[in-house]
A and B are shown apart, each in its own frame.
Chain A
Amino acid sequence: MRCAFLVAWREFVENVKTKGFWLGIFLFPAILVFAGSVPLILSKKAVPTRHFVLVDFDGKYAPAIRAELARQRDAELGDALKTHARRAPYTEPFASFVRPASTNGTVWHGGELDLVRWKADAGTNWLAVPGFVPPRPGLLERPLPPGLENASAPAELEARLRPWLRGETLLPAGDGIPATKLFAAVVIPTGYGPGATNAIDFWCENQADTGLRDLVQRRLGEEFRHSEYRRLGLDPAVVARIDALRAPIVSLDPRKAAGEERVGLSDLLRQWAPSFFVYLLWVAIFAVSQMLLNSVIEEKSNRIIEVLLSSVTPGELMMGKLAGVAAVGAVMLAAWIGSLVAVALFQVSHFAGGAAPDSPVATLPADVIALVRTTWLLPAFAFYFIAGFLLYAGVFLTIGSLCNTLKEAQNFMGPIMLVLMVPLFLMPFIPRDPNGPIATFLSWIPWYTPFVMMNRITAHPPARDVVGTAVLLAGFTALVLWGCGRIFRMAILRTGQPPRLVEMFRWIRGR
């Protein structure tokens, strides 16, 4: 036992010293933060202002599009001001319009700006707030370049616009705007309208950015519908009210206490949190098994194994390695879960500032804590991590003992990876029907039990499934480890070609 501990300790210390370990520890939270914040930053900062021209030969629809653009710009500014209010809620002149938010007695810094009241109060000066820098507009209409105003037909205008649209000629600088490329041209031909056979020409090199195109289409579609309502004698306001009618529906869970049956965010969390743990389990098993493989192959190819085996038994060596690498995995997981919690708490405290005390975002931390406390999530995770880890690590360790190089090991790894991919593919389906036939069936396959049962654990699976699969998994893991131990003992000293399957079976049977 002492030797197994020494082997485990060395394994742990040497792995912790590697760059890969620290990369793994920091990469995950880094990706988490990155994934959380970059799209936000990108959507705000990285998309440049799109300069475009709008030409309406009949002059009939341009005002509607401009009105829509103004409305959108107004919303942009409103959002930006709200964000500003969250950061600096006590700024005069709008401090009295900011409602400090509190959740569970905790006062979050920041609060919600009552934009409607503020705008009504401040009038046209609503943007004149100290420290507030209005964001750049996403879309900016520019006048037609000089000399093009007199084009008499769309075809002529479009032909002359091409150099601008291709970026060969830049729009002139002015008004604090540098010379820029013309992003798009929206040309509405003569006679355009409902039932017309012609169409708006939307000229743009970048067909992937459909913001402007969608805006024009959405707004003019609305215009068309409204004119049709009017033609038929319908009031568009009435139609809008009819359109807004929704059929209310509430999800109720009969397992919950009376009065609390409503299904909310915490229930969604309950349903989907296990999936997160399954991913974590999967990534941990995968990362850790790679370490095991490397370490066994190092010892084997360096022939250290023989000295080791004169000091420890193969069983102790195997146990020590499994324990040491499991400890590495556990530290990694703890770091990941810890960083996730930290990031989540930070996000909540930072962005939920103005959320109402009973809003889903504000109660999220309490929900998570309740989830952990009232369900078997964490103990189950510990059990399935240990069992799953031992099962797969035992197999990987044995593969390492069979091979002299990583390249050889890759051949064996292929099929195992395929087996390991299955729970990953099934992950989205199991939470939807956690006690359905597929989930139940897969639970009883021991090498999938950790993943599938982990996924089902908060969905109140039948006790028969929980206990039965756990016993089966434990038994199967013990059996696999025993068999792996026998192969390991024989294979570890072997050089040259990996043994054939027949030979391995003979080793397991102890001949």
Chain B
Amino acid sequence: MSSAVLDLRRVTKLYGEFRAVDDLSLSVPAGCVYGFLGPNGAGKTTTLRMILDILKPTSGSIAVLGAPSATEVRSRIGYLPEEKGLYKKMRAWSVIAYFGTLKGMSRAAAKKRAFELLERYGLKDFATARTEALSKGMGQKVQVLASIAHDPELVILDEPFSGLDPVNQGVLEDIVTDLRGRGRTVLFSTHVMQHAERLCDRIVVIAKGRLLFDGTVDAARRLAPRRVRIETADDPGPLRRMPAVAALHDAGGGKWEVELREGTDPQSLLQACFEMPVRLRSFDAAEPSLHDVFVKLVGTDAREATFR
């Protein structure tokens, strides 16, 4: 079934005069991992809070798992907010179990599940520790586990990777992969492109509350200019005359970066080099990264947001 798990129609959120989210429409199909990308202050958290019905949109409509409000289906949703915290005096397992029961699990089932999850994700030894005794990363993992304890159909994670070391980031990626493996839908926001690149089937990019891109990762990559890195002792200047070449940047030490026009096959550049001839010591036609896509889409906005 690929019907939409989440459907946002022309959603706008105003804070006084400030447009936090501006006419945003979005549809998240079931069973996919959806990346929610955008610079700081883009409106990601506001959007997620509106999806969860913690905030009400000023206008527009949101359907979650077929219901007009997340409140009606909240036991089928898991949520990890951006700012993370736990009850300091409670024990790791009891926090997970508590949130599980709030989502409709029985106490016994929630307790059993809490211990299972802690064991599976490497926190077995800390199951009965008070959360104030846990490191920041461990605490964050406990919170992630608390958000998925009730095995929700839709998991919304707001900046789940921030503050985690590479090993724990790996654990979190495993959690997301596991969820996808069991047909759950995961929506997570991040501004670390590598995670989005590795995990997401589709991404959404927003900035200043507006939708800039919504589609597959491949489609996103096609938006960014294709760059080829070459290394040569010759002068590659003549390549500039090729219609396929948009720009040529000297990276120093005989290294150059060739920016190709959209739709150009890097093979044609290689062929042209042989014909010129530009004798190549190396030729690297890597695919554009999401990083490039992100910078291209929101570069200006991000800088503005930083200085706002």
Question: What is the interface of chain A, defined by CB distance below 8 A to chain B?
Answer: 2-3, 6-7, 10, 14, 17-18, 298-299, 301-304, 306-313, 493
Interchain CB contact under 8 A, B89 and A302: no
Q: Which of B54, B71, B84, B90 contacts A14 (CB 8 A)?
A: B90
Instruction: Report the separation of the CA atoms of residues A310 and B89 in the bound assembly, to the nearest whole angstrom.
Output: 22
Contact B54 A307 (CB under 8 A): no
Query: Is the CB of B52 closer than 8 A to any CB of chain A?
Result: yes
Q: Is there contact, CB below 8 Å, between B83 and A303?
A: yes
Give B64-116 interface residues, CB cut-off 8 Å to A.
70-71, 74, 77, 79-81, 83-90, 98-99, 101-104
Provide the residues of chain A in CB contact with B143, threshold 8 Å. Answer: 307
Of the candidates B88, B101, B147, which one forms a contact with A307 in the assembled complex, judged by CB atoms under 8 Å apart?
A: B147
* Across-interface contacts of B71 in A (CB, < 8 A): 313
Residues of A within 8 A of B80 (CB): 307
Contacts of A493 in B (CB 8 A): 49, 54-55
* B98 contacts A309, C-beta separation under 8 Å: no
Complex contacts, A302 vs chain B, CB 8 Å:
85-88
Chain B neighbourhood of A3, CB < 8 A? 102
Residues of A within 8 A of B101 (CB): 6
A-side binding surface: helix, strand, loop or mixed?
helix
- Evaluate contact between B81 and A306: CB separation under 8 angstroms: yes
Which of B77, B81, B102, B147 is in CB contact (< 8 Å) with A312?
Answer: B102
Chain B minimum-CB-distance residue to A314: B54
CA distance A308 to B103 in the complex (A): 10
A residues within 8 A CB of B32? Answer: none
**A304/B86 contact (C-beta < 8 A), A6-B101, A311-B103 known:** yes
**Which of the residues A2, A6, A304, A310 comes within 8 Å of B87, measured between beta carbons?**
A304
The yes or no answer to B5 lying at the interface (CB within 8 A) is no
A311 with B81, Cβ < 8 A, contacts A10-B98, A14-B87 known: no
Quick check: B88 and A298 within 8 Å, CB to CB? yes
Least CB separation from A316: chain B residue? B102
- Considering the chains assembled together, what is the distance between the CA atoms of A299 and B49 in angstroms? 17
Are A310 and B88 in contact (CB-based, < 8 A)?
A: no
Residues of A within 8 A of B33 (CB): none
**CB of B264, distance to nearest CB on chain A (Å):** 46
Tell me the complex Cα distance, A309–B103, Å.
11
Q: List 17 A-B contacts (CB under 8 A).
A: A2-B104, A7-B102, A17-B89, A18-B89, A302-B86, A303-B81, A306-B49, A306-B79, A307-B80, A310-B70, A310-B77, A311-B74, A311-B99, A311-B103, A312-B102, A493-B49, A493-B54
Name the distance in Å between A314's Cβ and chain B's nearest Cβ: 9
CB distance from A468 to the nearest CB of B (A): 39
Q: Which residues of A lie under 8 Å from residue B269 when comparing CB positions?
A: none
Q: Which of B103-151 contact A (CB under 8 A)?
A: 103-104, 143, 146-147
Specify which chain B residues have a CB less than 8 angstroms from the CB of A309 in the assembled complex.
52, 54
Can you name the residue of chain B whose Cβ is closest to the Cβ of A317?
Answer: B102
Nearest B residue to A311 by beta-carbon distance? B102
- The residue that A6 contacts in the complex, of B70, B86, B98, with Cβ under 8 A, is B98
Known: A2-B104, A303-B84, A311-B102. 12 other contacts (CB 8 A): A14-B90, A302-B85, A302-B88, A303-B83, A306-B81, A307-B79, A307-B99, A311-B103, A312-B102, A313-B71, A493-B54, A493-B55
Q: State how many angstroms separate the Cβ of A34 from the closest Cβ of chain B.
A: 30
Q: Which residues of chain B are near A301, meaning CB under 8 Å?
A: 85
CB distance from B113 to the nearest CB of A (A): 15
Contacts of A306 in B (CB 8 A): 49, 54, 79, 81, 83
Taking the closest CB of chain A, its distance from the CB of B18, in whole angstroms, is 14
Q: How far is the CA of A303 from the CA of B49 in the complex (A)?
A: 13
Q: Which residues of A contact B147 (CB under 8 A)?
A: 307
**Chain A residue contacts of B49, Cβ below 8 A:** 306, 493
Q: Are B83 and A6 closer than 8 Å at their CB atoms?
A: no
Task: List the A residue with the shortest CB-CB distance to B158.
Answer: A306
**C-alpha spacing A120/B77, complex, angstroms:** 91
Q: Nearest chain A CB to B129's CB is how many angstroms away?
A: 15
Minimum CB–CB distance for A487 against chain B, Å = 16
Which of A2, A18, A303, A312 is B85 in contact with, Cβ under 8 Å?
Answer: A303
- Chain B 27-39 interface mask (CB, 8 Å, partner A; 1/0): 0000000000000
Report B93 CB to chain A, min CB distance, Å.
Answer: 14
For A313, the chain B residues whose CB sits under 8 A away are 71
Residues of chain B within 8 A of A18, CB atoms compared: 89
Which B residue's beta carbon lies closest to that of A301?
Answer: B85
Name the B residues within 8 Å of A2 (CB-CB). Answer: 104
The reply to whether A310 and B98 contact each other, CB–CB distance below 8 Å, is no
Q: For the complex formed, measure the closest distance between the CB of A158 and the CB atoms of chain B, giving whole angstroms.
A: 67
Shortest Cβ gap from B36 to chain A (Å): 16
Establish whether residues A6 and B102, one from each chain, have CB atoms under 8 Å apart when the complex forms.
yes
Q: Which of A6, A10, A304, A310 contacts B54 (CB 8 A)?
A: A310
**Distance of A308 Cα from B79 Cα, bound (Å):** 10
Q: Fill in one digit per residue for B41-66: 1 if any A CB lies within 8 Å of its CB, else 0.
A: 00000000100101100000000000
In the complex, A298→B143 CA distance in Å?
Answer: 16
Distance A311 CA – B54 CA, assembled complex (angstroms): 10
Query: Chain B residues with Cβ under 8 A from A304's Cβ?
Result: 85-87
List residues of chain A with CB within 8 A of the CB of B104. Answer: 2
Q: Which residue of A lies closest to B85 (CB)?
A: A302
CA A3 – CA B99 in complex, angstroms? 10
Contact of A310 among B52, B83, B86 (CB under 8 A): B52
Write out the residue numbers on chain A whose beta carbons fall within 8 Å of the beta carbon of B55: 493
Q: A308 to chain B: which residues have CB within 8 Å? A: 102
Find B74's partner among A7, A10, A303, A310 (CB 8 Å cutoff): A310
The CA-CA distance from A303 to B71 in the complex, in Å, is 20
In the complex the two chains form, what is the Cα distance from A18 to B87 in whole Å?
A: 13
Q: Residue of A at shortest CB range from B89?
A: A14
Q: Give CA–CA (A298, B131) in the complex, Å.
A: 14
- Contact partner, B79, options A6, A7, A310, Cβ 8 Å: A310
Shortest Cβ gap from A103 to chain B (Å): 50
